[in-house]
Amino acid sequence: MSNTVIVHIRNAEPMLAEIDEMPQLTDVLIKLSNPRQKDGKDLIFLERNVVHVYWPWAEISFLEILPGDTAEEVVSFIRE
């Protein structure tokens, strides 16, 4: 199961990608699948046919993990 993430890279625009598994504390690189701009266009610094890229953690500020199809639905109680 892959998670869609927004990757915030230092001194660059954020990009959208998928990750197969959550990164571990000991990881030095992160594998990103289907990297693209947030609007879905190709990234200008990668070739058009790139499917996977390994990015060093030292260049990443943070990740935003987007909810997927399997995200749990939040159930709240409403007082009537």
Parse the chain into domains and list their residue ranges: 3-65
pTM of the shown model: 0.79
Give the pLDDT confidence score for residue 67 in this predicted structure.
Answer: 86
Q: Scanning the structure block, which residue is given the tokens 């197969």?
A: 20
Residue 34 CA to residue 49 CA, distance in Å, equals: 9
pLDDT-above-90 percentage for the chain:
74
Beta-carbon contacts of 38 under 8 Å, excluding residues fewer than 6 positions away, are 6, 13, 14, 15, 16
Is the domain 3-65 a CATH 3.40.228.10 member? no
Show pLDDT as tens, one digit a residue, over the chain (80 residues). Answer: 789 999 999 999 999 999 999 999 999 999 999 999 999 999 999 998 999 999 999 999 999 999 875 545 555 556 66
